[in-house]
Structure 1
């Protein structure tokens, strides 16, 4: 999936080029304008709302073989 946001200078498509995770619920994304005559680069902030920390993953349980009485 590709993130795109309109360029604030020329309104052309801006494509996400880099993403940096700042915390469990916050990222900074660097965009670059797709119009070569503009070429503007800009940074955006993506934040989950409400800012709750996701539920941590549980460790995988070991599987046990089924026992059948034949």
Structure 2
């Protein structure tokens, strides 16, 4: 299992991601909590994907053509 961590801005220990909120198709808010029990600081970060457009736009599904065989 992968744990997403960012250093705590107060004590520089590992901060572990505890929650995630999707803001848009290319942006998320992550809630972190310091892993050091004496610090226990909670903080929020924002992750944005650049460029803000999705890299490959979704295509409209085409109709399937029925095949006709000459018999």
TM-score (norm 2): 0.76
Runs of 4+ in 1 over 2 A off after TM superposition: 53-59
Residue 51 of structure 2 corresponds to which residue in structure 1?
Answer: 50
Aligned partner of residue 44 in structure 1, secondary structure: strand
Q: Does 1:5 align with 2:33?
A: no
The Cα shift of 1:58 comes to 6.2
Aligned partner of residue 58 in structure 2, secondary structure: coil
TM-score (norm 1): 0.77
CA RMSD of aligned residues (A): 1.9
Aligned residues: 61
Aligned partner of residue 11 in structure 1, secondary structure: coil
Q: Structure 2 unaligned runs (5+)?
A: 65-71
Q: Structure 1 unaligned runs (5+)?
A: 63-70
List aligned pairs for 1:1-70, cutoff 5 A: 1-54=2-55, 55-56=57-58
